[in-house]
Amino acid sequence: MLGLALLLTGQSAQAQGPGSGGPAPDPNQPTAVPLDGGASLLLLAGVAWGNRRLRRAPRR
């Protein structure tokens, strides 16, 4: 029964045609990489960690 159901529904499950492919990419546009948020957080975390280590260091 399951095999018959799979055979009958297989004909209607066809892929779509290739279509137009969408707009062409602009060759003059630079690659946009969102580094601002992550780099800022890493820099802030490094400053906070360094400050904490300096405060906890034994005084001479």
| Identity of the residue numbered 1 | M
Q: What is the per-residue pLDDT across 22-51, written as a single tens digit (0 to 9) for each?
A: 777 777 777 766 667 788 899 999 999 999
Rounded to 10 degrees, what is the CA torsion of 26, 31, 32, 34?
Answer: 160
Residue range(s) defining the domain that contains residue 32 = 1-56
Q: How many domains does the chain have?
A: 1
Tokens of 25: 């990419």
Tokens of 12: 């209607």
Q: Is the pLDDT of residue 10 over 70?
A: no
Name the CA radius of gyration of the chain, rounded: 29
Contacts 24+ apart (CB under 8 A), 22-30: none
